[in-house]
Structure 1
Amino acid sequence: MPGSFRLFRIAGVDIEIHWSWLLVFVFLTWSLAAGLFQEEFEGWTQTERWVAASATSIVFFGSILAHELAHSVVANRLGIPVRRITLFVFGGVSHLESDSRTPREEFLIAIAGPATSFAIAALLGALWVILSPIREPAAVAAAYLAVANGVIGVFNLIPGFPLDGGRVLRAILWGVTNGLVRATRLASWVGTIVAYGLMALGIAVMLLTGEILSGAWFILIGWFLRNAAESSYQQVLTRHLLASVPARSLLDRSYQWVDPYMTLQTLLDEHVLRRGARYFAVSGGTGLGGVITLKDVQRFPKTSWPSATVLQAMTPVERLMVISPAVTLDEALQLMTRHNVNQLPVVENDVLLGFVTRTDIMRTVRLRVELGAVEK
C-alpha cells in the first residue's frame, strides 16, 4: 500500500504501518487522555493521563495486529502465502498472494480474525475482574480494551464484503453455488447494501444527535466499504477471466530493438516521441542484453540525457523479471503488480518471444466481460 513503511517481522510476515494509522493513534490517545482517564482519575496529572492513554492505545493496536495475524497464520498454514500486513486508518489488512481454493479455506481464514478478537475480549474481561479490587487504572484500561475488542469482533462479522463477515458469507455462498465468481458477486452486492446503510446511519447520527465527527466516521467507513466491495469483486473477476489464458496468446511482437550505446536523448527523440513506444529490448551480443523503459530514463536527470547511454539506464537481462509463454495472464498480472512494472518479457530457451503488457491484459479482460465470458 503506497505511503506505508515496514516496522518489523512476525511469523514470517512483514508488519507495515500506513501514515493514516498514525493519525488514528494520535486521535485515540488524545480521546483517552482527555476523556476516559480524565473522568476516572481526576487527581492525575496531564502526563500520567497521556502515558496511560498511550499505553492503552498501543495495546489496542496490538490487538488489531493480533486479529490480522490470525488471518495470516491460518492462511499460511493452508498454503496460501501472506507476506505482509498493513495497519491503516480503517484497521488492518492481510495481503494474501492468492485466493482461497475451497469454501472451507475461505471460511477458516475469514473467521480466524473475529474469533481472535473475541478471545482477546474475554481475556481482558477476565483481567478486569481480577484487577478491579487491586489496581484500578489497569482495570479501567482492561475494561475499555475488552469492550473495544468485542466491538471489533462484532463489527467484522457484519456480512459486508470484504469484511470478515462478508468473506464468511462468500464462503457459504461458494459452497452452495459451487462458483467463486458468483459467490463473490452476491457477497459484493450485500457489502454494497451494508456500505450504503452505514453512510445513511452516519447522516442520521449527524442530523439527529449533532455528533458530526461520529457521523462522518460512519460515512467514511461506508464509503471505504463500498469501494472495497467493488474492487474486490473486480479482482476476483479478473483472475477468473485470466486464469486459463497463457501468455503466448497475448504476445506483443511489435517491440523495438535498440543499441546499448545509444544515448538516452536519441532514444527519446527517435523512438519514444516519434513512435510512441515506452519499452525496448536492448541488444546484447547474440541475444537479449536487457530492457529499458520510460521509467528507467526518467530516473536520470534531464541534463544527462545527451551523454548517458541505454546501457547505463537499462535493466540487464540477469536482473530482469521474465516469464515463459506457458505462464497464465493471471500470474503475469500478479507479478506486474508485485514488482510495480507494466510489462514482462516472455522468454523461451533464452530467446525473447515478445512482451506481455498490463494494458493488453486489461483490454482482454474488458473484451471478455463484453462478450459474456463470465460465470453467471
Structure 2
Amino acid sequence: MADHTPRTKGFSFGHVLGARVVIQPSTLLMLVILAFLLSNSGGSVTRSGFTIGLILAAALIFSVFLHEVAHAVAARAFGRNVHEIVLTLWGGHTSFDSRNLTPVVNGVVSLAGPAANVVIAGVVAVALQFTQPTGVVGAGLWWIVWANLLLAAFNALPGIPMDGGRALEALVWGVTKDRHRGTIAAAWAGRVIAVGVLVASIGLPFLRGNTPDMFDVLWGFIIFGVLWPAASAALKGSKAMARIDSIGARTIMVSAAPIAFDATVQDASELAARTGAQEIVVLAGDNTPAGHFPVSLIDAVPVSERQHTQLQSVTMPLPRGAQMSPDLRGQEFVQFLRQWWGQTEVWAVVEHGRVIGVVRANDALKAVQ
C-alpha cells in the first residue's frame, strides 16, 4: 500500500529504520546560535572558541538525533512503520503509524527518547572514568554528559509537548480507559510547566538576591512561547478528536426505507407514512442502493400526479458502493467519508442487507464542527 503521509520540508539525509531523515533549515540556525552562546566567554568570541562551540553544538544536536532514533526503535519494536525523523529549531520529532495506538505503545515510545539521553550520558561518563582525558577534550566530553542529562530531564517533564507529557497521557489513558482524558491532563500539565518556566526565569534570580538579566528573561519567554501554544493545541485537538469519536453512522443518520426501482411517488408517500422514514432509498434490480428521495420533496409533486410519476424520475442518484455499516464510527467513519467526499452528498446505511437510514454530508460536517 502506498504511503500517503505528508512529507516534511527540509534537507533529506537518507533513511534510518525505514524513516526519512529530515533536517529543517532552522536547525542550522540553532547550530550557529548554540555555537555562539557556547563560545562566548567574557563577551568576546574568538575563532578557536567558536570552533569549539560549533563542535559542542553539533554534539548536542546529534544527541537530539539519537533521542529521536530511540523513538523510532521503540516504535519499530511494536511493529509500527516509522515515516520520518525530523530535526527542527527546537529539537525534533518522529512520526510513525499511530493507528490503533495503545497506552503501552504511546508511553514506551515516548520515554525511549529521554532514556536514550541517559544512556548516552552514562556511556560517556564511564568512558571518561577509564580514559580521564584532560583539557578541552575532557571538559567537552563532560559537557556532553551533563547536556544529555539535561535533555533527558527536560523531556521527561510530565506535560505536553515533552515526552514525559505523552507518558502522563498514556498513564491517565490506561487508568481511565479514555485517551482524551489523558491528553487533557497532560496538556494542562504542559501549560503549568510553561508558566513555571517563565516564573522561574524571573523569580529565581530574585531569590538569590540578584536582578534577572535580559538573557534569563528572554529564554524564559522563548520556552514559554514554545510550550504554551503546543499544550494549547493539544488541548484543542483533543476536544475535536473527542467530538469525532462520539459520532458515527448510527448517531447522525436519518431514518430511511427502501423501495423497488419501479415504484411511484405515491408508493413512496405511503411507505413514508407507514414507517416514519425521512428518506426513501431506491433499490436497483440487484437490491443495492441506487438513489435517494427526501420525503419532504413529496409535496412538490401534485397529488393527482403521484400515482403516475415514477420515483426514478425524481430520484437523486447514489454512486454504486455509497453505503456504510451503522456501526462505523470515530476515525474510521471520518476516513470513510473522506474517501467519498466530492462524489456524493448522501450515503445509505445498510444493516444485515437492509437499508435503515442515510447519512447526509451536511449533517456529518455539523457534527464534527
Q: TM-score range by the shorter chain?
A: 0.5 to 0.7
Alignment of 1:276-295 (within 5 A): none
Q: Which moved more, 1:234-243 or 1:26-35?
A: 234-243
Q: Confirm whether residue 30 of structure 1 aligns to residue 36 of structure 2.
A: yes
Alignment of 1:50-199 (within 5 A): 50-98=50-98, 101-133=101-133, 136-199=135-198
Determine the structure 2 residue equivalent to 1:229: 231
Identity %: 25
Structure 2 distance, partners of 1:130, 1:152, is 24
Q: Confirm whether residue 353 of structure 1 aligns to residue 344 of structure 2.
A: yes
Structure 2 distance, partners of 1:18, 1:205, is 34
Structure 1 distance, partners of 2:346, 2:26, is 37
Contact 1:80/1:97, CA 8 A, preserved across alignment? yes
Partner-residue secondary structure (3-state), 1:353: coil
1:346-376: CA deviation from partner (whole Å, max 9, x where unpaired): 18xxx943599x998764323xxxxxxxxxx
Unaligned 5+ segments in structure 2 are 1-6, 254-320, 348-360
Q: Which moved more, 1:60-69 or 1:188-197?
A: 188-197
Instruction: Mark the CA change 1:233 to 1:128 in structure 2 (over 3 Å): closer, same or farther.
Output: same
Q: Displacement, 1:107?
A: 1.7
Contact 1:345/1:355, CA 8 A, preserved across alignment? no
Determine the structure 1 residue equivalent to 2:367: 364
Unaligned 5+ segments in structure 1 are 40-45, 252-322, 336-342, 367-376
Structure 1 distance, partners of 2:28, 2:199, is 28
Structure 2 distance, partners of 1:151, 1:355, is 55
The count of aligned residue pairs is 277
Contact 1:162/1:191, CA 8 A, preserved across alignment? yes
Alignment of 1:14-25 (within 5 A): 14-25=20-31
Partner-residue secondary structure (3-state), 1:93: strand
1:67-89: CA deviation from partner (whole Å, max 9, x where unpaired): 11111221132133331122222
Structure 2 distance, partners of 1:104, 1:117, is 21
Contact 1:170/1:183, CA 8 A, preserved across alignment? yes
Instruction: Mark the CA change 1:169 to 1:249 in structure 2 (over 3 Å): closer, same or farther.
Output: closer
Structure 2 distance, partners of 1:5, 1:361, is 39
Structure 2 distance, partners of 1:73, 1:233, is 28
Structure 2 distance, partners of 1:47, 1:355, is 68
Determine the structure 2 residue equivalent to 1:305: none
Q: Which amino acid aligns with 2:13?
A: L
Structure 1 distance, partners of 2:23, 2:346, is 35
1:281-302: CA deviation from partner (whole Å, max 9, x where unpaired): xxxxxxxxxxxxxxxxxxxxxx
Structure 2 distance, partners of 1:199, 1:171, is 27
Provide the alpha-carbon RMSD of the alignment.
Answer: 3.8
Alignment of 1:182-331 (within 5 A): 182-204=181-203, 208-243=210-245, 330=331
Q: Considering only CA atoms, is the larger Rg found in Structure 1 or Structure 2?
A: 2
What is the TM-score normalised by the length of structure 1? Answer: 0.62
Instruction: Mark the CA change 1:84 to 1:126 in structure 2 (over 3 Å): closer, same or farther.
Output: same
What is the TM-score normalised by the length of structure 2? Answer: 0.63
Instruction: Mark the CA change 1:359 to 1:19 in structure 2 (over 3 Å): closer, same or farther.
Output: farther
Q: Displacement, 1:161?
A: 1.9
Q: Displacement, 1:155?
A: 0.9
